[in-house]
Structure 1
Amino acid sequence: MELHLLNRSSKTDSSFSVTHNSYPHFLKVWHYHPEYELVFLEKSTGTRFIGDSIQKFKPGEVILLGKNLPHMWLNDDIYFMKEKDKSAEAIAVHFKEDFLGGDFYQSPEFAHIGKLLKRASRGIRFPISKRQNIHEEFMSLFVKDPFLKVMSLLRLLNKLAKQRNYELLSSAGYLNAMENQGNERLDKVYAYVFDNFKKEVSANEVSDLIGMNPSAFSRFFKRTNRKPFSQYLNEIRVGYACKLLLENENTITQVVYESGFNNVSNFNRQFRKIKQMSPSEYIKFHKEGI
């Protein structure tokens, strides 16, 4: 899965952009950009890839992405069928960290928003309840008055910064990997893993891919990612397994092999290690809301 740099800068005289996207399906491109991205999902379902996080998405969720964090919203297969009358809709806001000035978030009044943006380096999902009227707040961003538009964005960021219920998406170790974007060898490794994690992948074949011996590759990968290659691979597989577990047609045994694990016991062990709960507990937690 090749990583692309996209231009998300404002094409108007505004310091940030707000768009209402409505397509048969979302852009099927693994990409990143220097702007922060704030998204409200209005319609459609599928799989959300953010850093090394792989999860199902559904309408009503709010996502805040930090600068240069790779991501992709991949709609379910039904959205790519021409005979199906489906649409994918979202409101997306893109802004640079310094769009209000370099020291803006250092002031006491806005320091909490600065902390929110730091957390966004891993990607944040906010489970919004219906009573919060978050959609109306996103719609207020389309006001024509530029001053009111900025105030609407600050009011929205203020609300999200005060939310106690949120989920950090990609792993902490992934942040260090992001610092190496543009490193041709690492880009090849990440792309290869995303394309092949469902089958057997060895450190030897990956090291051959980038012209390093296995020992040197092991040291190189651990130094740049702060985790062994095997752990990184298992985290990708468990992330994909989480997505499969929430699809009703899959049994846990099917998920084990579809996500790249070769036996149930190893899957259960790695899943608990990464998610701090068993696969069945994960299903119950997300489907019953406990």
Structure 2
Amino acid sequence: MKPRHEQWSLPEDTTFKSFIRRESAFDFGWHYHAEYELVLMTEGSGTRYVGTSVEPYAPGDLMLIGPDVPHTFVSRHPDSVAEAAVVQFRHDFLGPDFFALPQFRAVRALLERSARGLLFTRTPYALRARLTGLPEQHDSAASTVALLDVLGRLAHQADAAAPLTRPGYAPAPDTEARRRVDDVCRHLQRAHTRPVELVEIAAIAHMAPTSFSRFFRRTMGRTLSDYVNQLRTETACRLLATTELPVTEVAARSGYQNLSNFNRRFLELQHMRPSEYRAAHLPR
């Protein structure tokens, strides 16, 4: 399956959308669209998948995701509420040349950087309140000014924003290469906790194993093994933070058959040992 392409629909009185997404849980729904998307996590925690990135999210995380970058969010606790404030807009929502104006040079640079996805983790309260209040604005002109204010503020703290995807990643959802990668990523999201063989994954992309290895690294900016380890480590983080399973069992359930390999990979990616991660994240 390739990521679902979301179709654009707008209210009658404006050229962008803002809404609160509130559900009992966010399920895996790999998708992309032509719009920029601001996502502020307001309740619940889980895993975000943005391009090549597979990392945890928490309330307060703010992401700016560029056009055509596949993404989804999966709740860590399926029995609790998941909520996010979302704004979607196209590059020309204020006219084709609006962001070419010199006074919006910083915003234009911010939007260009969002092609790799951007994460803001220290967003001021006033900016978060501005975003969560957008869906309640009944004056479309005032809501447009508010969105521009948000973009302007983010542009001036863009140096603090971390890119979400590797430099080698380039979104191209309409190409055969993108379709193959999306098929593989969707499959690995389900299958990474069991042994993953290169021959099996290459067959999903209808390629020879050696050719697929080169293709995946060139397209995703990382090796298949690196990507699988990222998925497994995030699964291990969820188990460590939400269960009291022994570390050996966490390793096995995450897809690692060798405990020393699990410990080594976990330390590489999380910069702490599994026991240290559990101590820092288990509820007290």
Q: TM-score, normalised by structure 2?
A: 0.80
Residue 98 of structure 1: SS of its match in structure 2? Answer: coil
**Partners of 1:243 and 1:118 in 2: how far apart?**
33
Match of 2:125 in 1: 132
The alpha-carbon distance between structure 1 residues 195 and 2, as it changes in their structure 2 partners (threshold 3 A), is farther
The answer on 1:34 being equivalent to 2:34 is: yes
Q: TM-score, normalised by structure 1?
A: 0.79
Match of 1:5 in 2: 5
Match of 1:238 in 2: 233
Match of 1:179 in 2: 172
Determine if contact 1:98/1:104 at 8 Å carries over to the other structure: yes
**Partners of 1:146 and 1:244 in 2: how far apart?**
44
Q: How does 1:1-290 map onto structure 2 within 5 Å?
A: 3-26=3-26, 28-79=28-79, 86-128=80-122, 132-141=125-134, 142-163=136-157, 164-173=159-168, 175-176=169-170, 178-179=171-172, 182-183=175-176, 184-247=179-242, 249=244, 252-274=247-269, 277-279=271-273, 283=277
Deviations along 1:135-183, one digit per CA (max 9) or x if unpaired, are 421244243333322210011111222224433333333x23x325552
Match of 1:83 in 2: none
Residue 261 of structure 2: SS of its match in structure 1? Answer: helix
**Partners of 1:30 and 1:20 in 2: how far apart?**
19
Amino acid at match of 2:30: W
Q: Which stretches in structure 2 are left out of the alignment for 5+ residues? A: none
Deviations along 1:36-88, one digit per CA (max 9) or x if unpaired, are 11122232333332223333333333222221222222224543xxxxxx543
What is the Cα-based RMSD across aligned positions, in Å? 3.2
Amino acid at match of 1:18: S
**Partners of 2:189 and 2:28 in 1: how far apart?**
14
Deviations along 1:17-43, one digit per CA (max 9) or x if unpaired, are 111233333455221111111122232
Q: Which stretches in structure 1 are left out of the alignment for 5+ residues? A: 80-85
Residue 262 of structure 1: SS of its match in structure 2? Answer: coil
Residue 102 of structure 2: SS of its match in structure 1? Answer: coil
Amino acid at match of 1:108: P
Residue 110 of structure 1: SS of its match in structure 2? Answer: helix
Determine if contact 2:56/2:234 at 8 Å carries over to the other structure: no
